Structure 1
Amino acid sequence: MSHAYLINNYFNPNSVYTEEDFRRRFRMRRHVFERLLRDVQQVKPYFRQKLDRASRLGFSLHQKVTVALRMMVTPQLILWMKPMVHKEEYLREPNQEDLNRLLRKAENHGFPSMIGSLDCMH
């Protein structure tokens, strides 16, 4: 969903959809969504619109928040996650055997001692 589509259909004063349509689509009132936009933008830099490597604008704040909200309420996502949440092997801390296996695997791929940084970026 493009930024222009979102703004024209849901956020402009003369938007295509009514407040009731907005509430049905987003499961909250427009003023609550707008407050969420402001708060999220201040707290999480990820949600700010940025330029990509080709100097093109990336996804807008409205798009990112909309996608995040849609993912949180999507039944398919919940169905996909349920088996993992109920299995102890996905929720437990790694033991020494797990750490040794992960270190060996990382070293084989040229990333020694990567366990110190879970995102492997530092």
Structure 2
Amino acid sequence: MRRHVFERLLRDVQHVNPYFRQKWDRAGRPGLSPHQKVTIALRMMAYGSPVDSIDETYDMSKSTCLDTLEQFCDTIVQVYKNEYLREPNQKDLNQLLRKAEDRRFLGMIRSLDCMHWDRKNCPTRW
């Protein structure tokens, strides 16, 4: 992830959710930094890192790892849902088609449209 993208994400998350602000314990020691919390959440999502490896690497308890991931996901939806987590409009589709044509990836939108088909014979469980 590029640095400016990470910094924007960090700033937006800190602004909306106090969970991602630096806190101090009763002994006056700093808790986990906002950078650590966001990095841990991103690492867990991007690499599918198990909580055990995060616990050992960043010295963060399993419950705190899971809380951080949940807080991060909820905050991301809250902050970016209107801008990024919406159905594309015609302007967005035209921009995607132009990019796809430039990269010789024709038929991109049609292949994505098939993702929402209901399949009547798909198994739902074993």
**TM-score range relative to shorter protein:** 0.3 to 0.5
TM-score (norm 1): 0.38
Q: Normalising by structure 2, what TM-score?
A: 0.37
Higher relative contact order (CA 8 A, sep 6+): 2
Larger radius of gyration: 1
